[in-house]
């Protein structure tokens, strides 16, 4: 049953590869064992693929967050100093000062699980248990007014949650400015007057240059 | 010194630039007038120099100690998730020396034991595989030059002129020759299934950097690289292995590459949702803005490299495009009133930095210098105003707007915005 699809997969690939590739495998490398794959294969997709079995509550998340996250991200996800703000900012994306948080900006909850599990806490990555990660995601939903304080998050109900800003992402429409086919660039007498509108020196935020 | 004949020729050929009377070459600062005698027997004319292998791995002259990567501390909360900048104003040609290539880490530069490093390919493949570094060097290899530009290069300039120097406004770019395995060979070895459409490269650093890359791009020109400019990758550039994604935003060039998962849909990782998405004025965001559009910068003169001499000078700069080769670069000295086409010098390669020059005469009057790149697809580098009209002020990434340098009467040069 599997043989034919496999064969067609190879055909499609090699046709698309053009001339340089040989259909013969080189026999380099070795099989990745399932238990090896399991160690690294921790990514999670929006459809829930990759979610490990487990669960956590908002309450548990609050204590994990207080212990392991709040020193940078603030007790309520407001961010200390320049560290990232995790909560709030709803309704600011069209403003002069958009606050892009999980609640105001992120499109998918899976990203939060994936990122916390692989990269947080900063400097101590991959030290959280699966249940701690679920509880942190639940707590961050709570901080963003997207879950009640008695909420539980698990691999069972994870994909029921949608983040509000998912609908506002679009594919890249570039090029979004003129090309030569639309308009040859001007070469002579293109402007009458030129004024300086802003200067970097007036801000004075550039590191000193050694002389 | 150039002969007067050559000076005369250049002066004549540049008179079309306009903008008032050109200064006679002889009225520029002359090293011959009133100078004390400079010629004498120096120490280094008499003593022995360093023996061979005094520096087993050579380093630049001590007189070039100022040619270094620099950071801007206030930009980021930590120096491990941060960026440094290539000193573009000190470089020539189109190759960036390895030690000067800008850095961008999300959890610091990992130090990896190469014999312990593995690359795994798993997911929608017939045979999930693990490769050692030795394995990878047995695959057919390719060499190619490519620029790597951070998506956030010039991002601090969206709202106006802020940082004073092309190192800081444009220095999140470098260009080296990579050696490695075309990614398609590794995928063939694993056998990609028919429903595969996306790849997820992942780093071995503690950020575990992951991005979604469409399969077509991987098959077209992505490289799993282990050498840069002929030698092993530098630790801060992903030693021992990194992904090369020609023409696309630097974030996707996953360093310390340890795994490539094959899938049928994108992962929407943190680096392609929270980051590396471009917020528009209407509150919507662009995702998967992979290509780096045509861009250019005048590196000399520039704020860190002021004009020192009246008379004849060489304007030098870089242009590049993620869409292909640079076709042309135009330069203006009068804020965009009149433009002249610069000379492209050295190889003009696909998705690669390209050097341009324009000789000019400086009378001592203020100048407003800009460069404008056009690539082989006909894409014209836009002004910042044109970009802001389409995108607003908050998109952070992909600022390829035309840069203006204001050369003042004393030769000092400043980052400005003009009408």
- Over residues B389-417, the pLDDT tens digits come to 999 999 999 999 999 999 999 999 999 99
pLDDT at B227 over 60: yes
Give the relative orientation of helices A130-143 and A58-68 as an angle to the nearest 10 degrees: 100
Residue A152 reports pLDDT greater than 80: yes
The CA-to-CA distance between both ends of chain B, in Å, stands at 39
Nearest Cα to Cα of residue B393 among A165, A96, A104, A170: A96
Q: For residue range B42-87, list pLDDT tens digits in order.
A: 999 999 999 999 999 999 999 999 999 999 999 999 999 999 999 9
> What's the mean pLDDT when you consider all of chain B?
93
Which of A42-51, A167-176, B6-15 is least confident? B6-15
Query: Tokens at residue A185, please?
Result: 């660039």
Cα distances (angstroms) measured from residue B74 to each of A210, B87, B250? 18, 19, 22
* Model pTM score: 0.91
Confidence of residue B29 (pLDDT cuts 50, 70, 90): low
Over residues B186-215, the pLDDT tens digits come to 999 999 999 999 999 999 999 999 999 999
**Region at B211 (left for phi over 0; alpha for psi -120 to 50; beta for the rest):** beta
For residues A14-42, one letter each, b for 16 or more C-beta atoms within 10 angstroms of the residue's C-beta and e for the rest, the string is eeebeeebeeeeeebbeebeeeebeebbb
- pLDDT tens digits for A65-99? 999 999 999 999 999 999 999 999 999 999 999 99
A185·B330 Cβ contact <8 A: yes
Q: Where are the beta strands (DSSP E) in chain A?
A: 30-31, 55-57, 152-154, 169-171, 196-199
Query: What would you report as the CA-atom Rg of chain A, rounded to the nearest whole angstrom?
Result: 25
| Min Cα separation A175/chain B (Å) | 8
In terms of CA atoms, which chain A residue is nearest residue B415? A200
Which of A25, A105, A206 has its CB closest to that of B189? A25
From chain A, pick out residues whose CB is under 8 angstroms from the CB of B71: 207
**Given B162, B259, B379, which is nearest A40 (Cβ)?**
B259
Q: Which of B270, B337, B382 sits opposite A189 (nearest CB)?
A: B337
Q: Each residue of A179-204: pLDDT tens digit?
A: 888 889 999 999 999 999 999 988 88
Inter-residue contact B173 to B399 (CB < 8 Å): no
Chain B 228-247, residues with CB within 8 Å of chain A CB atoms: none
Question: What local confidence, expressed as pLDDT, does residue A201 receive?
Answer: 85
Residue A6 pLDDT level (bands cut at 50, 70, 90): very low
What's the whole-number mean pLDDT along residues A49-75? 98
Q: Measured between CB atoms, does B16 come within 8 Å of chain A? A: no
Tokens encoding A50? 């990759």
A8, A31, A201: residue with CB nearest B194: A8
Per the omega criterion (within 30 degrees of 0), is the bond before B84 cis?
no
Q: How far is B51 from chain A (nearest CA, A)?
A: 31
- Cβ B320 vs Cβ B353: under 8 Å: yes
SS (H, E, C) chain B: CCCHHHHHHHHHHHHHHCCCCCCCHHHCCCCCCCCCCCCCCCHHHCCCCCCCCCCCCCCCCHHHCCCCCEECHHHCCCCCCEEEECCHHHCCCCCCCHHHCCCEECCCCCCCCHHHCEEEEEECECCCEEEEHHHHCCCCCEEEEEEEECCCCCHHHCCCCCCCCHHHHHCCEEEEEEEEEEHHHHHHHHCECCCCCEEEEEECCCCCCECCEEHHHHHHHCEEEEEECCEECCHHHCCCCEEECCCECHHHCCECEEEEEEECCCCCCHHHCCCCCEECCCCCEEECCCECCCEEEEEECECCECCCCCEEEEEEEEEECCCCCEEEEEEECECCCCCEECEEECCCCCCCCEEEEEEEEECCCCEEEEEEEEECCCEECCCHHHHHHHHCCCCCCCCCCCCEEEECCCCCEEEEEEC
Quote ipTM for the complex: 0.89
Q: What is the pLDDT of residue B20?
A: 36
User: Is the minimum CB–CB distance between B417 and chain A shorter than 8 Å?
Assistant: yes
Over residues B245-286, the pLDDT tens digits come to 999 999 999 999 999 999 999 999 999 999 999 999 999 999
Q: State residue B34's pLDDT score.
A: 66
CA angle A32, B254, B373 (to 5 degrees): 145
């Amino acid at each position: 049953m599997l043989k034919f699809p496999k064969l067609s997969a190879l055909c499609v690939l090699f046709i698309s590869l053009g001339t340089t590739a040989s259909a013969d495998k080189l026999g380099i490398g070795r099989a990745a064992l399932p238990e090896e794959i399991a160690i690294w294969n921790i990514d999670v997709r929006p459809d829930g693929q990759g979610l490990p079995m487990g669960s956590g509550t908002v309450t548990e998340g609050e204590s994990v967050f207080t212990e392991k996250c709040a020193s940078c991200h603030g007790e309520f996800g407001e961010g200390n100093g320049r560290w990232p703000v995790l909560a709030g900012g709803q309704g600011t994306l069209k403003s002069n000062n958009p606050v892009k948080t999980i609640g105001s900006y992120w499109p998918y909850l899976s990203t939060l699980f994936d990122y916390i599990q692989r990269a947080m806490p900063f400097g101590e990555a991959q030290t959280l248990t699966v249940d701690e990660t679920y509880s942190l995601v639940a707590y961050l939903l709570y901080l963003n007014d997207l879950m009640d304080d008695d909420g539980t998050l698990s691999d069972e109900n994870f994909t029921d949650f949608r983040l509000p800003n998912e609908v506002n992402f679009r594919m890249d429409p570039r090029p979004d400015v003129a090309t030569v086919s639309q308009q040859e660039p001007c070469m002579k007498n293109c402007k009458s007057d030129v004024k300086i509108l802003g200067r970097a020196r007036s801000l004075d935020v550039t590191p000193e240059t050694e002389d | 010194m150039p002969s007067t004949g050559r000076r005369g020729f250049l002066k004549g050929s540049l008179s079309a630039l306009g903008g008032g009377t050109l200064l006679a070459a002889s009225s520029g600062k002359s090293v011959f007038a009133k100078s004390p005698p400079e010629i004498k027997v120096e120490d280094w004319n008499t003593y022995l120099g360093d023996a061979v292998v005094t520096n087993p791995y050579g380093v630049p002259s001590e007189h070039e100690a100022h040619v270094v990567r620099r950071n801007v501390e206030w930009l980021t909360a930590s120096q491990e998730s941060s960026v440094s900048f290539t000193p573009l104003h000190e470089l020539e040609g189109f190759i960036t020396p390895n030690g000067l290539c800008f850095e961008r880490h999300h959890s610091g530069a990992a130090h990896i034991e190469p014999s312990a490093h593995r690359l795994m390919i798993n997911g929608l493949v017939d045979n999930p595989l693990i490769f050692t570094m030795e394995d990878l060097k047995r695959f057919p290899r390719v060499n190619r030059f490519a620029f790597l530009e951070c998506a956030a290069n010039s991002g601090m300039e969206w709202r106006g002129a802020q940082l004073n120097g092309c190192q800081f406004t444009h220095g999140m770019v470098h260009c080296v020759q990579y050696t490695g395995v075309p990614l398609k060979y590794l995928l063939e070895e694993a056998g990609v299934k028919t429903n595969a459409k996306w790849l997820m490269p992942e780093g071995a650093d503690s950020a575990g950097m992951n991005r979604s890359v469409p399969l077509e791009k991987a098959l077209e020109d992505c490289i799993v690289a282990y050498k840069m400019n002929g030698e092993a990758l530098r630790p801060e550039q992903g030693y021992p292995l990194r992904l090369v994604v020609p023409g696309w935003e630097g974030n996707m060039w996953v360093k310390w590459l340890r795994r490539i998962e094959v899938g049928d849909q994108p992962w929407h990782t943190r680096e392609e949702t929270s980051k590396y998405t471009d917020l528009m004025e209407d509150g919507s965001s662009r995702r998967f803005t992979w290509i780096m559009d045509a861009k250019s910068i005048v590196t000399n003169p520039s704020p860190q490299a002021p004009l020192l001499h009246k008379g004849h000078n060489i304007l030098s700069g870089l242009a590049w495009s993620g869409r292909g080769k640079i076709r042309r670069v135009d330069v203006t000295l009068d804020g965009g009133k009149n433009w002249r086409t610069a000379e492209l010098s050295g190889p003009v390669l696909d998705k690669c930095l390209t050097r341009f020059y324009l000789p000019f005469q400086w009378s001592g009057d203020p100048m407003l210098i800009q460069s404008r790149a056009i690539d082989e697809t006909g894409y014209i580098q836009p002004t910042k105003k044109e970009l802001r009209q389409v995108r607003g002020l908050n998109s952070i990434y992909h600022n390829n707007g035309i840069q203006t340098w204001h050369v003042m009467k004393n030769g000092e040069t400043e980052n400005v915005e003009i009408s």
